Amino acid sequence: MQKRAAMENEARNTDQKERRISMMKKIALIISLISMLLLSISNICRATGLMTPKNGDYPRLAMEEHHVNITINNGYAVTEVDQVFHNPNDVDLEAIYSFPLPKDASLSELSLWIDGQEVTGEVVEKEKARKIYEEEKKAGRDTALAEKDDYRTFDVYVYPVRANDRTRVRLLYYQPVKLDTGIGRYVYPLEEGGVDEIREAFWTSNPKVESAFSLNLTLKSAYPLDDVRVPGHETDAVVTMVEEGVYTVALEKQEGYELVRDFVLYYKLADDSPARIELIPYKEETGKPGTFLLLVTPGVDLRPITEGSDWVFVLDRSGSMSGKINTLAEGVTKAIQRMNPEDRFRIVTFDNKASNLTKGYIPATAENVERITEKLTRLNTGNSTNLYEGIKLGLKGLDSDRTTTFILVTDGVTNTGRIKHRDFVELLKGHDLRCFIYVMGNSANWPLMERIADETNGIATAVSNDDDIIGRILLAKSKITHEAMHSASFEIDGVRTYDVTPKEIGNLYRGEQLALFGHYAHGGSARVTFTAKISGDEKTYVTDIEFPDVDTDNPEIERLWAYATIEDIMQTIRYEGKSKELRSAVVDMGTQYSLVTDYTSMIVVMPERFEELGIARNNKDRISRERAAREERSSSGPRNYRVDRSRPMFNRSAPRIGGGALDPLTALYSVLIGSSALLAARNRKRRG
C-alpha cells in the first residue's frame, strides 16, 4: 500500500511539473509576443527600415511597399508616406514604425486601414492617448498611436499586424521651405543618424523594400526656374518640366531597394527673380480671423567686406559621427582651400574632450592649408559627445578687432558634460561672433542647435550625409563677406495682426529669406514697414499690401502657424523649465490644430470607438478641408502671391547665385550641387 501511494504521489508531482512547464512556455510565448516591436524607419547614419529586437524569435515583418508623394508649393512642402507591411508569422504582432523627424515638420495625419477602410487619427493629450492605445490593444481591437520622441523621431505603434496578412499605414506632414540666395532645398530623410545609442543597442535594422518603392515629387514655382537637380539620383530619377514653373520628379525601384540614402532636391530660381513680399493667407469666411504666412525676399544693397576675417571650425568627431566624418573632413578641407591669404583659421575637434588641431590661428596660406588638410584626412571618430567643451575651446582667443565666423559641424547630439540650454547661453554671452551650425544627419537636437544660432545671430541648417557641406560653407562665407541687416523688425498698420512668430527677427544675411506666421482680424489694406540697420545706419522700406477677407486655398497655413508657435513655447520650456501653464498651452494648441507634439499624440481606433471614448472628430474635418484644397490646387498652375507689385518694397533684385564674373557666388551653384553628387559617390564607396 505504501509503495502504491508513493507511486501515485510521484505521478501527481510529475503531472503538476509538466503542467507548470507547459504554463511557463505559454507565458514565455506571450511575453515574447508582447515584447516584439517590429517596424522602424529610424534615425540616419544607419538606415531607415524595419527594426526588430536583436534577440527576437520571429522573422522580421516585410516592408512590401513604400510610396512617397511630395508637393512643394507656396513656401511649404506636403509629404505623404504610404507603406504596406507583411507579417509572415502565424501569430498577430504589435509593430513600431519610427520616422526621422524632419526639421520644423508637423505630423498632421496618421491613417490605418481597418477592414479595408481608411481610418484617420485624432489628437489627444499624450498620457490619455497611450492609455487608450493599451486598452484597445488589450481588448484585441485595431488601433494605432503616433508619439513624438522629443526632437528625434515620430514613433508610430500599430496593433495588431495580423498573422500572414498585410497592414497599410499612412502618414502626412507639413514643413516650411525657404529659399537661400535663390536656391530651394528639400530633403526626404531615409538614412539613419546613429545618435540614439539605446535604440541601436536593442534593435537590428532591415531597410529593404521587398516589392516596390516610389517617390513622386511635384514642384511649383510662381517664378521661372533655371535648374532642378537631385544629386546622387541623376541616372534613376526622371525630372520633367511639365510647364513653366512646374516640375515633376519620379523615382521608382522594384524588388529589394534599400532605403539607406536621403533624397535631396535642389532647385534654382532664374537670375531675374525679383525681391518681393508674398502673402499666403487662409481665411475661411468674413467675420472669422485669418492666418497668414508672410515671405520676405529682400533686395538690399549689402556691400562686400574686403578685409580679412577669422574662421573658427569646431568639428564633432564623436562616435555617433561614424559614417559622416569623411564628408565633414572633405567639406572643411575644400572650404579652407578657398580662403583668401589674409584670412586666418583655427580648427577645434571634440568628442568627450576638446583639442586644438591647428594650435591656434594660422594664416590661410597654401603651405598651412596643405599641412592641415593632411591632418583632416586622418581624422577619426572617438568617444561620447561633449559639445559644451568643444564650443568653449573654440571661443578661446577671439580677436575683437577682426570679424569672426564660427562654424560648428556636428550631428547635434550632446550626451557628456553640460547639456542644458542655459549653460550654452551663458557660455556664449559677451562674444561678438556669428555661429553657423551645420547639422549632419537626422534625429539631431534641433532645439539646442537653433538656440545657439539665435544667441549668436547665426543660422542652423541641416546637411545630409549624401548632401554637400562644401557648398554650404561657401554659402556661409558669402554671407559673412557682405554686410548684414541687423536688428530687423516688421510693423503692419491698417489691419490688426497678432500672434506673430517669430517675435524677434534679429539679423538677416545676404540671400536669406524671412518667414513670418501670424493671425489677422479682418481683410483690408495695410502698410508694411521693414526696418534694419546696415553698417550702423538705419534703413526703412515701406509698401502697401492687401489682406483678403476670404481665401480658402491654403488651409494648411493654420497648422504651420500652430507648430511654429508651439516650438516657440517649447524653446521657453527647454530654457526655463516646464511649467503647468506652458504645458497646458502646448496641449491646447496641439489638440485644437491636431498636431503631434511633446505633450500630445495621435490615436487611431475603430470608427465607432471614437464616439464611445468621447473623442471629437476635429482632425477628420480638418483633413477633409485640406485634402479638398490640395485636390483643387493640383489641377491648377502655380499661384503668384506677390503683394507689393504696385509699390515694390525693395528697389534692387534679390541676391542670387550667379549673375556675372564679379559676383562672388558665380559658379557656386555648380559647386553646391556637383560636389554633393561626388561626395555621395565617395561616401557610398567608403560605406561599401
Q: Give 363-374 pLDDT, tens digit per residue.
A: 999 899 999 989
The overall average pLDDT reported for the chain is 82
Q: Give 131-165 pLDDT, tens digit per residue.
A: 999 999 999 999 999 998 777 678 888 888 888 99
Choosing among 1.10.10.10, 3.40.50.410, 3.40.50.1220, 2.170.130.10, the CATH entry for 310-481 is 3.40.50.410
pLDDT of 668 > 50? The answer is no
User: For residue 160, is the peptide bond before it cis, meaning its omega torsion is within 30 degrees of 0?
Assistant: yes
pLDDT of 5 > 70? The answer is no
Query: Angle, to 10 degrees, between the axis of helix 446-455 and the axis of helix 556-576?
Result: 80
Distance, first Cα to last Cα, the chain: 76
pLDDT of 125 > 90? The answer is yes
| Sequence-ordered list of residues with C-beta below 8 angstroms from that of 246, at least 6 positions apart, any chain | 218, 219, 220, 221, 637, 638
User: For residue 502, is the peptide bond before it cis, meaning its omega torsion is within 30 degrees of 0?
Assistant: yes
Displacement of CA 687 from its chain's centroid (Å): 24
pLDDT for 41 equals 28
pLDDT for 340 equals 81
Percent of the chain scored above 90 by pLDDT?
A: 42
pLDDT for 219 equals 97
What would the mean pLDDT of 606-624 be, rounded to a whole number? 96
pLDDT for 522 equals 95
pLDDT bracket for residue 614 (50, 70, 90): very high
Percent of the chain scored above 70 by pLDDT?
A: 82
> Quick one: which of 27, 52, 48, 24 has its CA closest to 38?
52
Q: How many CB atoms lie within 10 A of CB 425?
A: 14
In sequence order, what are the beta bridge partners of 65? Answer: 84, 212
pLDDT for 22 equals 52
Q: Give 246-282 pLDDT, tens digit per residue.
A: 999 999 988 777 776 788 899 999 888 899 999 999 9
Displacement of CA 599 from its chain's centroid (Å): 19
Lowest mean per-residue pLDDT among 202-206, 232-236, 412-416, 473-477: 202-206
More confident residue, 513 or 461: 513
Instruction: Round the CA-based radius of gyration of the chain to a whole number and report it.
Output: 27
pLDDT for 289 equals 96
Fold of 33-269: Immunoglobulin-like (2.60.40)
More confident residue, 660 or 553: 553
pLDDT of 672 > 60? The answer is no
pLDDT for 47 equals 37
pLDDT bracket for residue 33 (50, 70, 90): very low
pLDDT for 661 equals 29
pLDDT for 688 equals 41
Q: Is 64 left (phi over 0), alpha (psi -120 to 50) or beta?
A: alpha
Q: Is the Cβ–Cβ distance between 190 and 45 less than 8 Å?
A: no
**18 exposure class (CB count in 10 Å sphere: 0-12, 13-18, 19+):** exposed
> Quick one: which of 397, 407, 230, 440 has its CA closest to 333?
407
pLDDT for 293 equals 97
Rounded distance, CA 464 to CA 674, Å?
Answer: 15
pLDDT for 441 equals 66
pLDDT of 627 > 80? The answer is yes
What would the mean pLDDT of 659-678 be, rounded to a whole number? 41
Cell digits for 97?
A: 514604425
Lowest mean per-residue pLDDT among 211-220, 371-380, 439-448, 618-627: 439-448
pLDDT bracket for residue 36 (50, 70, 90): very low
pLDDT bracket for residue 483 (50, 70, 90): confident
In sequence order, what are the beta bridge partners of 186? Answer: 265
Cell digits for 544?
A: 502697401
Lowest mean per-residue pLDDT among 41-55, 106-120, 642-656: 41-55
Rounded distance, CA 176 to CA 199, Å?
Answer: 29
What would the mean pLDDT of 6-30 be, rounded to a whole number? 49
> Three-state SS across 330-378?
HHHHHHHHCCCCCCEEEEEEECCCEEECCCCCEECCHHHHHHHHHHHHC
| Sequence-ordered list of residues with C-beta below 8 angstroms from that of 344, at least 6 positions apart, any chain | 308, 309, 310, 311, 361, 362, 363, 364, 402
Lowest mean per-residue pLDDT among 92-96, 322-326, 347-351: 322-326
Query: Angle, to 10 degrees, between the axis of helix 421-428 and the axis of helix 387-395?
Result: 0
pLDDT of 662 > 50? The answer is no
Rounded distance, CA 215 to CA 161, Å?
Answer: 25
What would the mean pLDDT of 152-179 be, rounded to a whole number? 88
**670 exposure class (CB count in 10 Å sphere: 0-12, 13-18, 19+):** middle
pLDDT of 629 > 70? The answer is yes
More confident residue, 577 or 546: 546
Residue type, 242: V
Q: Is 213 left (phi over 0), alpha (psi -120 to 50) or beta?
A: beta
> Quick one: which of 337, 458, 447 has its CA closest to 394?
458
User: How long is the chain?
Assistant: 688
Rounded distance, CA 161 to CA 87, Å?
Answer: 7
Residue 137 is classified by DSSP as: H
Q: Is the Cβ–Cβ distance between 419 and 450 less than 8 Å?
A: no
> Quick one: which of 389, 442, 380 has its CA closest to 415?
389
Going from N- to C-terminal start, the domains of the chain cover: 33-269, 310-481
Q: Give 400-429 pLDDT, tens digit per residue.
A: 778 788 899 887 778 788 888 888 989 988
Q: Give 223-248 pLDDT, tens digit per residue.
A: 999 889 888 888 889 999 999 899 99
pLDDT for 514 equals 92
Cell digits for 455?
A: 544667441
Cell digits for 277?
A: 513680399
The listed range with the strongest mean pLDDT (205-209, 444-448, 642-646) is: 642-646
pLDDT for 681 equals 42
Cell digits for 491?
A: 510693423
> Quick one: which of 281, 279, 283 has its CA closest to 544?
279
Question: Looking at 237-336, which runs of residues are DSSP E strands?
Answer: 237-243, 246-254, 257-258, 263-269, 276-282, 290-297, 310-316
